[in-house]
């Protein structure tokens, strides 16, 4: 049975630099908060609206079900990204990582 499309929302994110400092962000790589992400497993893409109001879409490179979490990841330019979605609750996290920065946030994902 295919995994249903998920709708995720991340209301807060933090950006961290190589010196270990982190600060709250008002957007996620140019996408305004709250960040609403659609995870479309059938078409293997994730999408969110960017600052222009148009959909920004990335391919899903891998999906794994491990440790009671669904882990979804891919690549967007210089960033590797990952969604970790708890199987037993709507809890989720999103992380974008590059060699010189990490952006991460917590939120929820549901199939409704």
At 18-29, the pLDDT tens digits run 999 999 887 666
Q: Is residue 18 part of a domain?
A: yes
Q: Assess contact for 107 and 92: CB atoms under 8 A.
A: yes
Q: Is residue 31 part of a domain?
A: yes
- CA distance linking residue 26 with residue 102, whole number of Å: 15
Q: Output the pTM of the full model.
A: 0.87
Q: How far is CA 58 from CA 38, 72, 88, in A?
A: 11, 12, 26
The residue segments making up the domain with residue 49 are 6-110
Q: How confident is the model at residue 88 (pLDDT cuts 50, 70, 90)?
A: very high
Of residues 4 and 31, more confidence is placed in 4
User: Total structural domains in the chain?
Assistant: 1
Q: What integer is the mean pLDDT of 30-35?
A: 80
Q: Is residue 1 part of a domain?
A: no
Whether residue 16 is predicted with pLDDT greater than 80 in this model: the reply is yes
Q: Is residue 53 part of a domain?
A: yes
Q: Is residue 50 part of a domain?
A: yes
Question: For the chain, how are helix, strand and coil distributed in percent, rounded to 5?
Answer: 0, 65, 35
pLDDT digits 0-9 by tens, 48-62: 988 788 888 999 999
């Amino acid at each position: 049975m295919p995994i249903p499309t998920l709708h995720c929302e991340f209301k807060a994110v933090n950006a961290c630099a190589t010196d270990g400092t982190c600060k709250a962000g008002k957007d996620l790589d140019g996408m305004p908060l709250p960040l609403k992400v659609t995870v479309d497993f059938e078409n293997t893409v994730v999408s969110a609206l960017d600052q222009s109001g148009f959909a920004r879409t990335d391919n899903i490179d891998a999906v794994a079900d491990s440790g009671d979490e669904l882990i979804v990841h891919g690549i967007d330019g210089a960033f590797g990204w990952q969604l970790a979605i708890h199987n037993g609750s709507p809890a989720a996290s999103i992380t974008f990582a590059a060699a010189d920065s990490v952006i991460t946030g917590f939120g929820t994902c549901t199939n409704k």
